Structure 1
Amino acid sequence: MQRFGRVLAIAAIGVAAMMTVVDVADARRAGGGFGSRGSRTFSAPPVTRTAPAPAAPIDRTMTPRQSTQPSTATNPASQNRTNARPGFFNGFGGSMLGGLMMGGLIGMLLGHGIGGGIGFLGLLLQVGLVVLLISLAMRFFGRNQRPAYSAPAASARSSAAAGAAPSFRIPRIGEAMGGAATGASAAAPVPVQTDEISVGQDDLDRFEAMLKDVQAAYGAEDYAALRQLTTPEAMSYLAEELSDNATKGLKNEVRDVHLVQGDLAEAWRENGTEYATVAMRYESIDVMRDRATGRVVSGNADEATDAVEIWTFARKPGADWQVSAIQGVEA
């Protein structure tokens, strides 16, 4: 039994090691996504015939998320709670002063006040003194209890508009974005104006060529070629993956890339940059080798494997396309 248990333990360790190596080899494909798709980074691209399943979300990006939660400073509810705090006359001070007033009046009516011995004239004198003291006290404490007035009505409308601003969304084709920003909308997140664009066959051919070039540069660990083919952000993530492979003593070999099918998911322009997201199904020889010996650690060096990925390309006016994001496809 001990010998059998030892064999099972060794087999379990071996299986775990194999699964770890497979995870390293398939991390770029089966993982989430990295890079940037502009204002659409956190929205899934439309499904296509090539990629009928949703794209994996981009979980490594430098694009900040836009928050629409109203701050405490502009939240009317918090302002009401702040202004509703009890003052001196609404708390203990008011109870004490009221008790003194009622006690004084009752004492005067019974004739036991300051001038109880002088009859009705003393009663009037005591009433006058109490009224004078109350008036002076209210003036004194009133100066410290003046309400803190809010900003003018325009600012109030601005705060209300900021708190009730709708969440950010991508405008539809041809939808107007409105006029110039006013004071009421200045506090809300500014929508990004996007225009749908058309992509020609020359662009699609270029995307297919870039698929092969990026895979070849990645397999050869050609950092100079990757810098030309990808945006600085996408390049940083690819360089990080290559560095991790080198640290583990591995090298990812990718060759014989062949595009089987591709579909354009969406293409748009924003802030002077054009984007095109393409679903691509391709075949390739994708293996992980031991860096020192060249031994195949995972994958089949003689059989092509199939993969489906979502690639987003970006370009500035007058510049070439570059890969800005790569996403896997959820199972």
Structure 2
Amino acid sequence: MNFTKSTRRAVQAIAVVLALAVPTLSAVGPADARIGGGFSSGSRGSRSFSLPPSTSTAPGTAQPFNRSFSQPSSPSFRPGMGGGFFNRPGGLLGGLAAGFLGAGLFGLLFGGGLFSGIGGFSSILGLLLQLALIFFLARWAMNWWQRRGTAQPAYAGAAGPGSSPNMRNAMGFGLGSTSTPLQIGPADYEAFERLLSETQAAWSDEDIGRLRRLATPEMVSFFENDLQENRARNQINKVSGTKLLQGDLAEAWREGDTDYATVALRFSMIDRTLDRATGRLVGGSEQPQEAVEVWTFVRPRGGDWILSAIQQTN
């Protein structure tokens, strides 16, 4: 494929712009600004590296954790591996941009021009195809591995009298010698719905003290880091009008004196990212948006539920 010199320069200039712009655009999107930042974060006890069952609210699969303090027993998992190229929001585009930028710097260092490290437009296309193939193969392998450890769907019954109108009453059956069945009742569903709203409100107020009462120390550490990143960008995320639209229990189980419940939630909210100094809208929308996430709650036996994990859905 032959290009004139001016055409080649134009292609190189576009690639440079994409290399510099994509990481910035993919860092925080409008749908990723709410609490959790669009990541899958936290722990689910002994099931942290097993995907929760699908439900009618979240018929797809939950994403593996990007951020977790859990130490899986399988050597295939390493702490922090989920926060890399494939699982981080914008990972594929960010990786492509890094590839462009790295090739360009290589070319400059060795005196061949900005994109001599790639070697022409046809090589750029080849690089894109190779990276896409690697991405999809790795994603398929990771999903296959996760499905091996996925628990069987929990038994879900019809909504009983007194149940929360947005939640289905259900019983989850734990698997394995360390897990026992756990009954989830209307009061539990009301607690889950309340935590959905209260954590979003505490996040919007940047109230770390309140978040510590609503979530595990692990989750609070992730929230603190996300809030610090917002401050570094001179931005603040405001989530208001949070309303649960539908919820399903995926599974509930007991480990020793600790209870766990994983619930699929579909909810609406007004998610806005504002300039901290001027209050100008820089992301999100003034209109309600919907999201589907899988939340896990934990409590000591006889205690109050708190948030233990948030997982995004495919």
TM range (shorter): 0.5 to 0.7
Letter in 2 for 1:45: P
Candidates 196, 207, 221, aligned match of 2:181: 196
User: In angstroms, what is the RMSD of aligned CA positions?
Assistant: 3.4
Using the alignment, how far apart are the partners of 2:29 and 2:149 within structure 1?
39
SS of the aligned residue for 1:58 comes to coil
* 8 A Cα contact 1:29 1:328, kept in partner: no
* 8 A Cα contact 1:32 1:327, kept in partner: yes
- Residues 31-46 of structure 1 aligned to structure 2 (within 5 Å): 31-46=38-53
Q: Which moved more, 1:45-54 or 1:238-247?
A: 238-247
Q: Is 1:228 the counterpart of 2:235 in the alignment?
A: no
Using the alignment, how far apart are the partners of 2:52 and 2:301 within structure 1?
23
Using the alignment, how far apart are the partners of 1:19 and 1:266 within structure 2?
33
* 8 A Cα contact 1:29 1:309, kept in partner: no
Q: Deviations over 1:260-314 (max 9, x none)?
A: 100000000002100000000000001111111111111112x101100000000
Bigger proportion of residues as helix? 1
Q: Which runs of 5+ in 2 are unaligned?
A: 1-5, 77-147, 155-175
Letter in 1 for 2:69: M
Letter in 2 for 1:300: S
Q: Is 1:247 the counterpart of 2:232 in the alignment?
A: yes
* 8 A Cα contact 1:264 1:277, kept in partner: yes
Candidates 68, 85, 95, aligned match of 1:61: 68
Structure 2 residue aligned with 1:238: 223
SS of the aligned residue for 2:66 comes to strand
* 8 A Cα contact 2:182 2:253, kept in partner: yes
Using the alignment, how far apart are the partners of 2:232 and 2:67 within structure 1?
20
SS of the aligned residue for 1:233 comes to helix
Using the alignment, how far apart are the partners of 1:311 and 1:318 within structure 2?
20
Label 1:35 to 1:14 Cα distance change in 2 as closer, same or farther (>3 A). closer
Q: Which moved more, 1:28-37 or 1:207-216?
A: 28-37
| TM-score for the superposition, normalised by structure 2 | 0.60
Label 1:192 to 1:249 Cα distance change in 2 as closer, same or farther (>3 A). farther
- Percent of residue pairs identical: 40
Candidates 35, 54, 59, aligned match of 1:52: 59
Q: Is 1:214 the counterpart of 2:221 in the alignment?
A: no
* 8 A Cα contact 2:30 2:283, kept in partner: no
Rg (Cα) greater in structure: 1
- 1:18 shift after superposition: 4.5
- 1:211 shift after superposition: 0.2
- 1:245 shift after superposition: 1.1
Q: Which runs of 5+ in 1 are unaligned?
A: 70-166, 174-190
Label 1:239 to 1:207 Cα distance change in 2 as closer, same or farther (>3 A). same
